[in-house]
Amino acid sequence: MRFPEIVETSRLQLRRPQKEDAEAIFGAYAQDPAVTRYLVWRPHRSIQTTREFIGQCLDRWSAGSGFPYVITRKGNAPAIGMLELRPEPFKVDIGYVLARPYWGQGFVPEAASEIVRMILSDPSMYRVEAFCDVENAASARVLEKVGMLREGVMRRYIIHPTLSHEPRDCYLYAIAK
Ligand SMILES: CC(C)(COP(=O)(O)OP(=O)(O)OC[C@H]1O[C@@H](n2cnc3c(N)ncnc32)[C@H](O)[C@@H]1OP(=O)(O)O)[C@@H](O)C(=O)NCCC(=O)NCCS
């Protein structure tokens, strides 16, 4: 499957990151421990860490191993979050993050619904999946709102280092055709 450089929804644009996004991402959410609480990375202490992170995102795009999209409001607006696609031969795993001032407005469900629609409309793709910490109720709700079903609990699946150094239980969610 070919992943487009830009995806649009009614309120949002998802696009390939640019080096210049580091300022907005650092300022909006990368240093916020409430945002990283259930993520696999700790808050960035300096913008240099965010710049390195953007560099890794661009490398994944170039290698085709992952497609992290920057989320913006439409109209050349600054980054307010990211939604990453990690493709395998017949399925895609998705992950997402949004800056705190924008929570609760349905932005990530809007972006993820369009991504799920796009992926499942490709003949080679059969499944979109995601996991979230068992305590991350907002993320579980997002996945339910995009039509995914909870398939089970993956015990001691991943470390969320802002929260704990011990591996955490996660829900596995998926939608298949
Ligand atoms: C999780 C996240 C992406 C949600 O994005 P969003 O655009 O704010 O999603 P929504 O606007 O749909 O709001 C979240 C939903 O969860 C619900 N919710 C939020 N906190 C909740 C809680 N503690 N318990 C139960 N439901 C909760 C909200 O009520 C809303 O559902 P509703 O529309 O049915 O009322 C966002 O909070 C975020 O970026 N969090 C930090 C990063 C993260 O955890 N990413 C996911 C990793 S798996």
Q: Separation of 137 CA from ligand 1 center, angstroms? A: 7
Tokens coding 62 = 């170039």
What is the H or E stretch that residue 169 is in?
Answer: strand 167-176
Percent of the chain with pLDDT over 90: 99
- Backbone φ and ψ for 60, nearest 5 degrees, come out as -65, -40
Distance CA(81)–CA(78), nearest Å, equals 9
Tokens coding 89 = 């031969």
Mutate to test the pocket of ligand 1, among 29, 83, 141, 143 (most ligand atoms within 8 A of CB): 141
Residue 14 above 90 pLDDT? yes
Average pLDDT value over all residues in the chain: 98
pLDDT digits (tens, 9 = 90+) for 17-74: 999 999 999 999 999 999 999 999 999 999 999 999 999 999 999 999 999 999 999 9
- Backbone φ and ψ for 130, nearest 5 degrees, come out as -155, 155
| Protein residues whose CB sits closer than 6 Å to any atom of ligand 1 | 35, 38-39, 96-98, 103-109, 132, 136-139, 141-142, 145
Mutual angle of helices 107-120 and 137-145, in 10-degree steps: 50
Q: State the closest ligand 1 atom to the C-alpha of 108, by its place in the atom list counted from 1.
A: 7
Burial of 161 (0-12, 13-18, 19+ CB in 10 A): middle
- HSE, CB side, 13 Å, CA atoms: give it for residue 134: 12
Q: State the closest ligand 1 atom to the C-alpha of 104, by its place in the atom list counted from 1.
A: 11
Q: Separation of 124 CA from ligand 1 center, angstroms? A: 30
Contacts of 151 (CB under 8 A, 6+ apart): 172, 173, 174
- Measured in Å, how far apart are the chain's first and last C-alpha atoms? 16
Query: Whose alpha carbon is nearest atom 3 of ligand 1?
Result: 97
Q: Separation of 109 CA from ligand 1 center, angstroms? A: 9
Q: Separation of 81 CA from ligand 1 center, angstroms? A: 13
Q: Separation of 62 CA from ligand 1 center, angstroms? A: 31
At 76 the pLDDT is: 87
